[in-house]
Structure 1
Amino acid sequence: MLSTDYKALIIGSGGAIGNAFFDAFQKDLFCLHVETISRSDPRFEKDRFDLSVPSSIVKHAAISKAGGPYQIIVDATGALHIDGIGPEKSLAGLQYDHLMRTFQTNTIGPALVLQQFAPLLAAGPCIYAKLSARVGSITDNRKGGWYGYRSSKAAMNMILQTAALELQRKNPEAMIVALQPGTVRSRLSNPFSAHVDNLLEPEESVSGMLTALKMLTPKKGAHFIDYQGQEIPW
């Protein structure tokens, strides 16, 4: 994959990782065209892309259709700190409204994005990649905590796996991928980056993820891999 001419679409290109994906595609001689969507896009100042507004997702998918079909779509949306509140460390820290917002941002919104943008994938070999997180792995959960973020990512992983099985009935060469980018220097990681041993620059993370994507081969269901191409247990 991505070793012949292709078109790319990045959803959430305003973030550190999304912007690094844009730069990487721009520099790739095989990339014929890269389309971007972000909340900060000045082209849509009066109708910004909003994960919490289904009609916004539908509208931006319709706009993006003109640039497709796409051999790769990357959804780089998501958030750890929402409305100024970080991940819960214990059951006592759970709050109904915050849990709802976490799932809205990391699961429900991206699920509707997948619904609207997956039809823009090209026939034949193609990739729909969604940024996930290692903490979304149920098997890999050894420390606990981060209830809402862990659960919202695990739920999104299930949506990706389920969608992969459906989409592959029509296109067996379609690959749906949950991507773990590592801990990347960004607004998301800033509150705890001082305690991270291997803090990655966005360009380093994206370079690794693109290399991993190029090495993938179709299989039944979704892939769940990290930026080094290593498989992560669901």
Structure 2
Amino acid sequence: MNILVVGANGAIGQAVVEAFCEQYSSSVVYAVSRSHYTGAKRKQVVPVQLDTVNETAITNWLSACKAKGTAFTHAVIATGVLHDDNVTPEKRLEDVSAEAMQHYFQVNTIGPSLWVKLLVGHLAQGGSTVSVLSARVGSISDNRLGGWYGYRASKAALNMFVKTASVEYARRAKHTSLICYHPGTVDSSLSKPFQRNVKPEKLFTPAYTAAQLLAVIDQANTSESPYFIDWAGKSIPW
């Protein structure tokens, strides 16, 4: 079994790599990241360094995999940004900027969407899954608090892309389930500035949310694809 984890250097990405290694001990896990992979060294992990939002780089790498007969049973796109040196979540309309919106969409929407696009011909025929990290705040119908314009919009756009792609996947990759996964609030650098209002029992370790993702993946059924689902296995309104 071949497994792909994109964004493997992030807290969730590293935990997902570890979880797959534990659950599928005979699998090969390709850990893709923009920088040198710093996760735990395991014989079954193949570190891959490439620009995860560069379509040409992704295409070339996937083509090389296909030439070797490598098809992926599970793919998890674990990239995303809430805040960094370039952006911080907006509290009001006046905080919105074109530059921040572009950054949010580049990381949260365009990159994962490219992987969903390009993976369609590289998935195992016997049943496979493609999961992207979404967020409950990306639900349009569940938005009652406002704020976080760029993050919300970029995740909502990702959800729409996956839901739209599922129509084509149903024809071209009938064996594949598409999953938009809300990991909850995870104790990571992404959520660090926003943890003080989170109840301790609702602040999850990366290992826990990775294990919950694998449980969702194990139960995925193509007849119910696409999923917008949380760490507890509960559906979220699109």
Taking structure 1 as the reference length, what is the TM-score of the superposition? Answer: 0.89
For residues 147 and 62 of structure 2, the distance between their equivalents in structure 1, rounded to whole angstroms, comes to 35
Shift in alpha-carbon separation, 1:23–1:221, aligned structure 2, 3 A: closer
For residues 94 and 116 of structure 1, the distance between their equivalents in structure 2, rounded to whole angstroms, comes to 31
For residues 35 and 211 of structure 1, the distance between their equivalents in structure 2, rounded to whole angstroms, comes to 20
**1:201 maps to which residue?**
205
**2:4 maps to which residue?**
9
Residue 61 of structure 1: how far off its partner (Å):
2.6
Shift in alpha-carbon separation, 1:79–1:67, aligned structure 2, 3 A: farther
1:55 corresponds to 2:59: no
One-letter code aligned to 1:18: G
1:70 corresponds to 2:65: no
One-letter code aligned to 2:63: A
Deviates more, 1:201-210 or 1:110-119: 110-119
Shift in alpha-carbon separation, 1:68–1:108, aligned structure 2, 3 A: same
**2:176 maps to which residue?**
174
Which residue, out of 216, 234, 237, partners 1:233?
A: 237
For residues 170 and 63 of structure 1, the distance between their equivalents in structure 2, rounded to whole angstroms, comes to 21
**1:93 maps to which residue?**
95
**1:3 maps to which residue?**
none
Deviates more, 1:213-222 or 1:181-190: 213-222
One-letter code aligned to 2:119: F
**2:36 maps to which residue?**
41
CA deviations on 1:129-174 (whole Å, 9 max, x unpaired) are: 1110000000111100000100000001011011111011133231
Q: CA-atom RMSD, angstroms?
A: 2.0
Taking structure 2 as the reference length, what is the TM-score of the superposition? Answer: 0.88
Structure 2 runs not aligned, ≥5 long: 39-47
One-letter code aligned to 1:218: T
Secondary structure, aligned partner of 1:8: strand
Secondary structure, aligned partner of 2:228: strand
Deviates more, 1:64-73 or 1:86-95: 64-73
For residues 37 and 6 of structure 2, the distance between their equivalents in structure 1, rounded to whole angstroms, comes to 15
Counterparts of 1:63-212 in structure 2, within 5 Å, are: 63-65=64-66, 66=68, 68-197=70-199, 198-212=202-216
Q: Report the count of equivalent residues.
A: 226
CA deviations on 1:158-204 (whole Å, 9 max, x unpaired) are: 11011111011133231001011111011101111122111100001
For residues 25 and 101 of structure 2, the distance between their equivalents in structure 1, rounded to whole angstroms, comes to 41
**1:214 maps to which residue?**
218
- Asked whether the 8 Å contact 1:81–1:87 carries over to 2, the reply is yes
CA deviations on 1:59-118 (whole Å, 9 max, x unpaired) are: 333344447211110000111114342111111101111111111111112211222223
One-letter code aligned to 1:60: W
Secondary structure, aligned partner of 2:28: strand
Shift in alpha-carbon separation, 1:147–1:193, aligned structure 2, 3 A: same
Secondary structure, aligned partner of 2:143: coil
Shift in alpha-carbon separation, 1:74–1:195, aligned structure 2, 3 A: same
Structure 1 runs not aligned, ≥5 long: 1-5
Secondary structure, aligned partner of 1:98: helix
- Asked whether the 8 Å contact 1:51–1:105 carries over to 2, the reply is no
Secondary structure, aligned partner of 1:99: helix
For residues 71 and 229 of structure 1, the distance between their equivalents in structure 2, rounded to whole angstroms, comes to 21
